[in-house]
Amino acid sequence: MNQNSKSIYYPPGGILIWFLILLEIFTFLGAIMVFLHYRKNALAEFKQAQAFLNPLVGTINTIVLITSGYFMANSLHQLKTNDNKKAARSVQIALFFGIVFLLIKSTEFYGKINHGIGFTENTFFTFYWLMTGFHYIHVLFGVGLLAYMQHAISKNKYNSTNTFDVESSATYWHLCDLIWILIFPVLYLL
């Protein structure tokens, strides 16, 4: 934990990443609320469209992403005890699960495109592509960030006294978890 973390100006990962978190979560919350509003007015159409999604695949992907977040959270503690080798390995595992998430999501997207289900199919799928697509881009960026962090930690660029960048990256990565935790039940389960 950062020595200043009890200060209002030093939330975990730094205040700037928290502005981003707030902005992103409010954006997705807005999208979820508008989605639910449209759903309420066209329940039968939304239920019919939702049947094209596979909740089991969505559940597996949720587990994959959360597992990735778990390893990223561990890496930070390992780095704080100067165990760079273990920290780099944890980031590597987090990265692996991040890529698995993208591969599963890409397969799902490919299946939809193959069936001609695009952005303009209906209101449900407009929101589906918008929310999952936007989240996909976040994960894609996060995977790049983790790849860099894994390299930098293994080269001892970071250590127990220099963890800020890794902490910010981990916070960003958890943002991807948080967004998914909110949109997954709304699109796949409810």
Partner 1 sequence: MNKEIKINTISWIILIALILASFTIAETHNTQLFLVITLLSVIKFLTITFQFVEVKNAHFIWKLISIILIISYIIGVLILY
Binding of partner 1 by 23 (CB under 8 A): no
Reading the block at residue 156, the tokens are 């001892």
CA atoms of 54 and 44, how far apart (whole Å) = 18
Distances (CA, A) of 18 to 14, 21, 23, 62: 7, 5, 8, 23
In the complex with partner 1, which residue's Cβ is closer, 165 or 185? Answer: 185
In this structure, are residues 142 and 71 in contact, taking their beta carbons and an 8 Å threshold?
Answer: no
Binding of partner 1 by 84 (CB under 8 A): no
Beta carbon of residue 65, minimum distance to partner 1 (angstroms, whole number): 10
Binding of partner 1 by 16 (CB under 8 A): no
Out of 62, 92, 150, 163, point to the residue binding partner 1 (CB under 8 A): 62
DSSP state of 171: H
Out of 69, 101, 127, 187, point to the residue binding partner 1 (CB under 8 A): 69
Binding of partner 1 by 188 (CB under 8 A): yes
Beta carbon of residue 15, minimum distance to partner 1 (angstroms, whole number): 9
- State the burial class of residue 7 (Cβ atoms within 10 Å of its Cβ: 0-12, 13-18, 19+): exposed
Task: Mark 144-156 as b/e (b = at least 16 C-beta within 10 Å).
Answer: ebbeebbebbbee
Out of 14, 18, 100, 138, point to the residue binding partner 1 (CB under 8 A): 18
In the complex with partner 1, which residue's Cβ is closer, 1 or 113? Answer: 1
Paired with 159 in beta bridges are 162
Residue 76: which of 20, 181, 186, 153 has the closest Cα?
153
Beta carbon of residue 178, minimum distance to partner 1 (angstroms, whole number): 6
In the complex with partner 1, which residue's Cβ is closer, 5 or 107? Answer: 5
Length of the chain, in residues? 190
Residues engaged in binding partner 1 (CB under 8 A): 1, 5-8, 10-13, 18, 22, 25-26, 29, 32-33, 36-37, 39-40, 55-56, 59, 62-63, 66-67, 69-70, 72-74, 77-78, 81, 170-171, 174, 177-178, 181-182, 184-186, 188-190
